[in-house]
Amino acid sequence: MIKTIKGKECGVYQRYGHKIWVANTGDFAAVCTKNNSVGKELPIVHDFNYNFVLLKDGTMLNIVNAVITNFGPSCPDDGNEYVINHKDGDWTNCDYRNLEWAPYHYRHSNRDKETLYSNGKFIDVHADGTIWENGQKFSSWDHWVDDDMDLEYPSENTFIWILLDEREDIEELMKECGFIQGDDAGLKEPVILHRDLDYHNCASDNLEWTEKTDPRYIDFCKKRYEDRKARNLVLNAGKQIPDNWV
């Protein structure tokens, strides 16, 4: 369904139970009512990873997907992995003529800071692995607390965390901001290696894409295990620790 709204050619995009009108220029969106009329205009916001329409209930609809679904070519169905590429390199330019399907490659950032929208707030992710909001640095931690047993223990499957209404893995935020060195395209089992083998060091120049079978990654996992084991003793000095915790 296509109609002209405010002089722009617009189509309907539906996801997560929401329907919106979106312009082929990618710079206008509005609520699509039950009878397909045009409702309230919606804000369009940008972070490093997404260009999205922000709905009243906090739902985010990717405007790039909306535009290319209505006005662009279909994604090639040849078994390969594709992403939407911005031809002019400006990822805020969501005009349908600027969008194309391209073979997947990890998108890097060359900046010292990128902004992400996460859990209802914009945060600044720095290349040195620190996370900030409104000039305040988030505190991080590497362990959980078991109130029932009065014990603390390092997490088994994650690295360093911050609290953004819910827990967020700093390594994952670095990944979203394009701060991992190398490319995971073509890797069979891509993982992130901490080059100095220190799982606390989440700085961009210490993080690298590699295969899970890489001997360096295997060494990193071994050291991480031993570091967590030692950390357990520090956190719970003088306490009885269950054998199966680490």
What would the two tokens of residue 41 be?
A: 């205009």
Residues paired with residue 14 on neighbouring β-strands, in sequence order? 19
- How much of the chain is in helix, strand and coil states, percent to nearest 5? 15, 35, 45
Give yes or no: residues 159 and 231 share one domain: yes
Q: Please tell me the total number of residues recorded for the chain in this structure.
A: 246
| Owning domain of residue 132 | 115-235
d(CA 183, CA 143): 30
Is position 186 within any domain? yes
pLDDT tens digits, the chain, 246 residues: what are they? 899 999 999 999 999 999 999 999 999 999 999 899 999 999 999 999 889 999 988 889 999 999 999 999 999 999 899 999 999 989 999 999 999 999 999 999 999 999 998 777 889 999 999 999 988 998 888 887 888 888 887 766 556 877 776 678 899 999 999 999 999 999 999 999 999 999 999 999 999 999 999 999 999 999 998 988 888 888 888 888 777 665
- CATH code, 154: 3.90.75
Q: Is 0.85 surpassed by the pTM of this model?
A: yes
Same domain, 154 and 63: no
Are 96 and 121 in the same domain? no
Of 103, 133, 153, at which residue does a domain stop? Answer: 103
> Taking phi first (over 0 means left), then psi (-120 to 50 degrees means alpha), and beta for anything else, what does residue 18 get?
beta
